[in-house]
Amino acid sequence: MSSSIGANCTELKARYDSCFNKWYSEKFLKGSTETECEDLLKEYKACVMTIIKEKQIDKLLAEARKESPFPSSSSTSS
């Protein structure tokens, strides 16, 4: 499993990733649209966001995400 950009988020990332990988292969690919691992993702994301602010890439990121990459995309977030 790869590291997080912030070294102190790697443990949270590992826990979330293993939950996601299991869900992706065992549920999502078999037709389920019910998400799981949401609490783990929330905790992990909060950690990553502090790193993004620290490294001052939040503005670059906001700029890049203004352009929606897929025409079908709505602005839903998890």
Partner 1 sequence: LNIPNSSICFPRHPWQNVTYAFWLRYPNPFASHVIGADVLERSVDPVTGVLRTTRLLLKSGVLPKWAPKGIVKSPETFVIEESEVDPKTHTMITRTKNLSHARVMQVEETQIVKLSPENPEWTTVRTEARVISRFGWGLTQRIERFGAKRFADNTARVRICDCSFLMFSAWPNLRYF
Residues at the interface with partner 1 (CB under 8 A): 1-6, 9, 13, 16-17, 20-21, 24-25, 28-29, 31, 33-35, 41, 44-45, 48, 52, 57, 60-61, 64-65, 69-70, 72-74, 76-78
Distances (CA, A) of 56 to 52, 62, 74: 6, 11, 26
Residue 23 C-beta: closest distance to partner 1, Å: 10
- Name which of 54 and 64 has its Cβ closer to partner 1: 64
- Long-range pairs, 36-40, Cβ under 8 A, ≥24: 38/78, 40/12, 40/15, 40/16
- Name which of 3 and 39 has its Cβ closer to partner 1: 3
